[in-house]
Amino acid sequence: MKKRNFIELWTYGTYDEENDTDFGISFEVPKKWLKEKIKQMGYKSLKEFLNDYTWDNTEQLNIEAENEGVLLNRKCGRFGHELYKKDMKKIKVK
């Protein structure tokens, strides 16, 4: 099995008032980059961060990853919906 060198995280997307639907953003960043960032945020380990992070944390990480050119993939979908994977749409990464 090939080792994954990236981590997928979720953060805020948009809210569709007409359909009363929340959308989230899924994005992937290099694991090494994330480990450096979370230490700056005060987390002791990747495990601690993944267990405790909020979407406020990942909203900032999403912005920083894009600004630093390390954002690997980003998609938008209905978070928590059983069919969210079918709803996922690629978002262009600059």
At 91 the pLDDT is: 45
In a domain, 55, yes or no: yes
pLDDT in tens, 44-87: 999 999 999 988 899 999 999 999 999 988 777 765 544 344 44
The sheet carrying 6-16 orders its strands as 6-16, 21-30, 73-77, 89-90
Distance CA 65, CA 21 (A): 26
In a domain? residue 83: yes
Domain count, the chain: 1
Contact between 37 and 12 (Cβ < 8 Å): no
| Residue 75: domain span | 6-90
- Examine residue 80 and state whether it is found in any structural domain, yes or no: yes
CA 13 to chain centroid = 10
Does residue 74 sit within a domain?
Answer: yes
Report yes or no on whether pTM surpasses 0.95. Answer: no
In a domain, 1, yes or no: no
